[in-house]
Structure 1
């Protein structure tokens, strides 16, 4: 029985052009043809709505491309959206009750709270949840469960599938406890980005803007169950849904392949979307699908080596390229630094001899953490402007170290190490000589403990002048003054609510004038032309305050101590 016979087509929906696929190899022009069609139709029908759905990270570049291609350089009736932004559009129009959408940090905070509550019930995970990074792993599992609609039945099957592997079964039981409590906690007050699409699917039939609109999807390799739920509604409600899917030349898009085949996922996506179309009661005509299978593809015309690679890479056929490829070059190097040095030399040669520009180059690597430090050094050495697509960890920023060092003084009761770690963290205006002087004095006298630091340091008989003792005591007074907001928590035995702790940390940042110092560093980096550092120091304070707001909002009345 074919897919088309599973369900009858809805009557009275003749205007539907339904589901259409743009198929073809990478570089065949699927995206260009799709965007060109949308622009052409949008110009002819200014009162109709057109939406292009792309992954979140491609929305800006897609908007720029559409504007560049549009003859009038404007897209009044074309929207470029991600699935998340489409969900918000539906909520705005249908008046769905607004709930707080948790981001990854919010999920981690709530899971941390739940883990503390359920620690006694967790046989395997309980003792590990306070380890650095462990909550992040649990959060990733919970997010996957939400994204793929994993419920009680699915978890039960997983536990049964564990068989005699007792450790795996116990881990699944622990995850089930956390997952159930997490969903219960969210039920009334919050939602997650994964659940938003499910809510949007339920609200979509009430949307008048979505009805009769044309939706195009580009840049996706497949869809999750919650995305499929929304797509089913889009296929049912919209005038047309067009999906661009990568498929090799000569491949039959409607014939299933084994999982090991290169385009198995693409065919699975086609099959899944066709099923959704039939479930929505919309008959589709495969003859209207556009299959761009010209060889070589448009992108590699005149580039025989790359065209051959595109047609044969990861395929099972054993073809050999007999010529010497002019558009592919291989070389070996002893280490990553030498690799990048050779890349920089070749870039300079192409710019000098062939008229290339820096923006014409992209460098891809297998491990960004390994290559990034060498890349910065080599690009600087060869005077090559560059951008590294790399997220910097917030923990590596000096202001975070300064904040942790301040807390460390209080939790370690003014130990020598904690005090001077704080003093040298880079966010104190006191000069280096005064810090060195104070450090030598504290070491020589063995001073430690909040009680000793609260009293004025007395001048010893030998070794220190009156002026030096004034500088040392000034250092002591400034330390006490800056740490006053945190020291008040020490009086409560280092415990309090999350709201109290967060308020103290905020007052500590204000007391130490961190925002002003960050602005000073930002200006310094701007003057040096270090755009990466300038941007980082511009953003970091807002990130910290946003984190404090989330902590108070999600865990305000929960008990915690300074170490946590």
Structure 2
């Protein structure tokens, strides 16, 4: 088969050619062999929506818009390969925690940081990069001998990487192992008549290149890359990573005896206004001649700080919608970093009541269910101490008084603080007065208050004591997870979340409604991943709770835009924007702007 590389600068019409070509083929033969469009994860929804809304197409069962990992998953499923042992990010964090605990005595640098927040997320990212680059632990050890400055870190990483590979071998699959399994299956998969299009990537990992080369042996492959056709084979500062990827791709194809051709796409038909075409053509050129035409679609604004910058961008959005007939979906808010601009953009857009979608996987740590579980873990480890107990109560998932939800918690907290109640006092009766003679002279109102306080105290004890007893009796991972699930059932978390979700839907808070659904599913999945890691292995309560806490830290929302007409808030790294008419780019303080988050697609 042949691989066709479609090369051209940004806006040269590569993606437009691909969609037009695919649509023509779908109209010509709606029930023909499958056409696969492989795009990055964050681009799949927009591309699929674009194909579905094409005039005259009226839907098709022939086209599949997928990420490369999703393609591997579907082909594994169709070939009957079980994917139940797949470890997602949460499961990987849990397993890494277990690996670190088992090898703690052998570690040097990582032993000091193993309990810091975010350690397992960073460790998972490192192992993902190693797997993508087809690096093995022995290579890390050899590298540690050559690099004295990073020797200890590389040795620790080699120990943990080897332990992780040993623990998962034959039992479970890491996210990046899907590609290895797919490479084993591809020789036996019939892809006659199938065609693959690859778009939206700036670089490919060694794993991804291996998969693409294997696909090219079975079916025609069209790869769209953003490179200047005039400097395809000579160094270019703006396209260096993509050029290296192209050279590596062609090297692998040559080794397999697969032919390849280059199809250049010249010009910039996307940029109808000359100012935009000029910006694309001269971007990064310090010595470029200035743009001298009087009209320009590129407007520069200076602001004293980020909040002023964001508010100005939001006012421009309002003007475009009111005066120029723009739809919110036509506008994008692109920032240098969502860490710096995400919260500011959210506040400004909510203040103006504008619909928007924040293109970032937010952590679930602030959700009441996750807060309840983290507080419960502290109660199990430290007893009925004031801080974790009231963190759990303030989630309003544990009801002390159905009619006075917040007031009952505040009264109980005020009494505990005033009297200095310790963790060992919660199982004893509480008295409103300190002295017996004063207690005997209580008024009817004071007696009612004392009765209410003891009722609240007993509710707390009745909520947590069964869980503490179950955890104390448990010895295996399966028993621990069942104890946590039984606790959630007793508290009634599922019904409360269903009620919150319905309220959010009635008030058109679609994003919030999806969050409630996702949190419950994520917590159940976390328990499943914990049990799958080592169902019958004996471990201490403390280790289980530490693994549970690590898993809760890793939970993220995976949100698809809840509606079609809304402004998109994203950053330069993650954003894959299609058919936008106006973009506000914040944080451009230099000609070359680098994100604080590394990404292979940057």
Bin the TM-score by the shorter chain. Answer: 0.7 to 0.9
Residue 447 (structure 1) aligned to one of 417, 421, 424: 421
Residue 514 (structure 1) aligned to one of 493, 503, 524: 493
Backbone CA RMSD of aligned residues: 2.5
Q: Please list every run of 5 or more consecutive structure 1 residues that lacks an aligned counterpart in the other structure.
A: 1-15
Counterpart of 2:454?
473
Question: Equivalents in 2 of 1:381, 1:526: separation in Å?
Answer: 20
Give 1:387 deviation, angstroms.
Answer: 2.0
Counterpart of 1:20?
4
Answer yes or no: is the 8 Å Cα contact 1:19–1:235 preserved in 2.
yes
Kindly tell me the number of residue pairs found equivalent between the two proteins: 530
Give 1:316 deviation, angstroms.
Answer: 5.8
Give 1:550 deviation, angstroms.
Answer: 0.7
Residue 467 (structure 2) aligned to one of 483, 486, 505: 486
Higher Cα radius of gyration: 1
Counterpart of 2:202?
221
Give 1:489 deviation, angstroms.
Answer: 4.8
1:561 aligns with 2:541: yes
Counterpart of 1:313?
283
Over residues 144-197 of structure 1, what are the superposed CA-to-partner deviations in whole Å (9 max), with x where a residue is unaligned?
1111100245324422330x42xx101111111111111111111111221211
Change (3 A) 1:21 1:478: same
Give 1:327 deviation, angstroms.
Answer: 0.3
Counterpart of 1:457?
430
Answer yes or no: is the 8 Å Cα contact 2:23–2:57 preserved in 1.
no
Answer yes or no: is the 8 Å Cα contact 1:304–1:325 preserved in 2.
no
Answer yes or no: is the 8 Å Cα contact 2:27–2:57 preserved in 1.
no
Counterpart of 1:112?
97
Question: Equivalents in 2 of 1:524, 1:76: separation in Å?
Answer: 36
Over residues 455-493 of structure 1, what are the superposed CA-to-partner deviations in whole Å (9 max), with x where a residue is unaligned?
33346443753222211111121111111232215756x
Counterpart of 1:262?
238
- The structure whose RCO (Cα within 8 Å, separation 6+) is larger is 2
Question: Equivalents in 1 of 2:323, 2:431: separation in Å?
Answer: 73
Give 1:124 deviation, angstroms.
Answer: 1.9
Give 1:369 deviation, angstroms.
Answer: 3.2
Give 1:44 deviation, angstroms.
Answer: 4.2
Residue 185 (structure 1) aligned to one of 160, 167, 171: 167
TM-score computed with the length of structure 2 as normaliser: 0.82
Question: Equivalents in 2 of 1:377, 1:358: separation in Å?
Answer: 17
Moved more, 388-397 or 65-74: 65-74
Question: Equivalents in 2 of 1:470, 1:383: separation in Å?
Answer: 46
Give 1:42 deviation, angstroms.
Answer: 4.3
SS in 2 for 1:111: helix
SS in 2 for 1:266: helix
Counterpart of 1:300?
271
Change (3 A) 1:392 1:96: closer
Q: Please list every run of 5 or more consecutive structure 2 residues that lacks an aligned counterpart in the other structure.
A: 547-602
Structure 2 counterparts to residues 368-517 of structure 1, below 5 A: 368-429=338-399, 430=401, 431=404, 432-450=406-424, 452-458=425-431, 460=433, 461-462=437-438, 464=442, 465-489=446-470, 496-517=475-496
Residue 535 (structure 1) aligned to one of 514, 525, 530: 514
Question: Equivalents in 2 of 1:318, 1:440: separation in Å?
Answer: 68
Counterpart of 2:564?
none
SS in 1 for 2:312: helix
TM-score computed with the length of structure 1 as normaliser: 0.87
